[in-house]
Structure 1
C-alpha cells in the first residue's frame, strides 16, 4: 500500500512491510555479511515488518530520532533500537549480526550520489533533507553496509525505499527494498 502523502523522510513514523514483489533479493547481501545459509532462507521467505516512531524533541538542539522495531515472522530475529539522525557513531547488538556500529544522518540532494540510489536518483523538488544515510559496520565480521532511505513513486504509488550497498573484502552486493505502508504504529 502507498504511503500517506504527509509521511516523508523527516518523519517516517508508521508500520511498513517489505514488498518482496517490488524489492530485490537480499540473498547476495546476507551472504556477503556471513549469515548462514539456513537463516538466509528463513529470512528470504519471512514477513518483515518495520515500525518507526519519531521521538518528540526535548528542545531545539535535540537531534531528530526514531524508536525502531523490526519484526521477522517466522524467525525470532526481532530487533529494537533507536536511530538518532545526527551522524554520531553508536554501538548496538543485533541478533543476526552481533555487535555493530551505526550512524545515520540526513542528506541534501547534492550529497546523494547515483551509486547510493543504485542509479535511480532522488525524485521531487526538495533540496534539503531528501534522504537518510544509515551506515552500519561489523568489525567482527568485516563488512560495511550503506543504506539510503528515500521516498519515491513506483508504479504511480508513493513508497518508502531503502537502497543497500554491502561491502566486504573488495566485494559488494546491492539490493533495493520497497516497503508498503500498513498503518500507524502500535
Structure 2
C-alpha cells in the first residue's frame, strides 16, 4: 500500500510491512553477515512488520544534552520468528546494540542529505556504495532529508550502511531503504520497499 501523503521522513510513526514482491532478496546480504541458511530461509518466507515510533528528547546517556530525534523500531515476523527491537538516536554517536539475529553491534544514525552524502564520500573508498545509496529517490528525498544509518559487527567483520527515504515504485510513492553490507572487500546491496499498514494501535 502506498505511503500516505502525510507520511514524511520526519513523520514515520505507524506500521510498515516489507513488500517482498517489490523488494530485492535479502538472502545475499544476510549470508554476507554470517546468518545461517535456515534462518535466512525463515526470514525469506516470513511477513515482517516494523512498528515505528519517533519522538524528540535528550539521549539517555546525556540527559542534560540537547533534544535529539529518537526512532524506536519494534519488528515482528510471522512463521514463529522472534521479534527484535532497536532504538536509533539521530546524533551520529556510536552506541551498542545486541539482538539474537545480528549479535553484538555498535551503530550510529543521523539526519543527512543526499547532496552532503555524495560530497562526503566523493573520491573515497566508499564512493561506489554512496552512489548506490543515493540513486532512485523521489524529488522530496533528493531535495530533502534522509535517515543515514551505519552499523558494524566487529566480531563477524561486517558493516551495514543504509539510507531511508521515499521512492516511486511502479508509479506509487513507497517508503524505501537502500542497504550496502560489506565484509572485507566483498559488498552486497539491496533495496527494501515497505507497504503502509496503518497507524500504531
Q: Does the pair score TM above 0.5?
A: yes
Secondary structure in structure 1 of the residue aligned to 2:81 = coil
Secondary structure in structure 1 of the residue aligned to 2:139 = coil
CA contact (8 A) 2:42 2:81 kept: no
Of 65, 79, 82 in structure 2, the residue corresponding to residue 77 of structure 1 is 82
RMSD across aligned C-alpha pairs, in angstroms?
2.1
User: Which residue is 1:51 aligned to?
Assistant: 51
User: Which residue is 1:176 aligned to?
Assistant: 191
The Cα shift of 1:117 comes to: 6.0
The CA distance in 2 between the partners of 1:136 and 1:10, in whole Å, is 21
1:118-133 alignment runs, 5 A limit: 118=132, 120-125=135-140, 129-133=144-148
CA contact (8 A) 2:56 2:67 kept: no
The CA distance in 1 between the partners of 2:130 and 2:5, in whole Å, is 24
The Cα shift of 1:134 comes to: 1.0
More helix by share: 2
User: Which residue is 1:143 aligned to?
Assistant: 158
The Cα shift of 1:67 comes to: 1.6
The CA distance in 1 between the partners of 2:115 and 2:135, in whole Å, is 14
User: Which residue is 1:97 aligned to?
Assistant: 102
The CA distance in 1 between the partners of 2:101 and 2:9, in whole Å, is 27
Gap change, CA 1:34 and 1:112, over 3 Å in 2: same
The Cα shift of 1:27 comes to: 0.5
TM-score (structure 2 length as normaliser): 0.85
Gap change, CA 1:12 and 1:73, over 3 Å in 2: same
User: Which residue is 1:5 aligned to?
Assistant: 5
CA contact (8 A) 1:18 1:177 kept: yes
TM-score (structure 1 length as normaliser): 0.91
The answer for unaligned runs of 5 or more in structure 2 is: 59-63, 119-127
The Cα shift of 1:126 comes to: 6.2
The answer for unaligned runs of 5 or more in structure 1 is: none
The CA distance in 2 between the partners of 1:50 and 1:133, in whole Å, is 18
The CA distance in 2 between the partners of 1:36 and 1:183, in whole Å, is 32
The CA distance in 1 between the partners of 2:84 and 2:194, in whole Å, is 18
The CA distance in 2 between the partners of 1:167 and 1:73, in whole Å, is 28
Dislocated runs of 4+, deviation >3 Å: 56-60, 112-117, 125-129
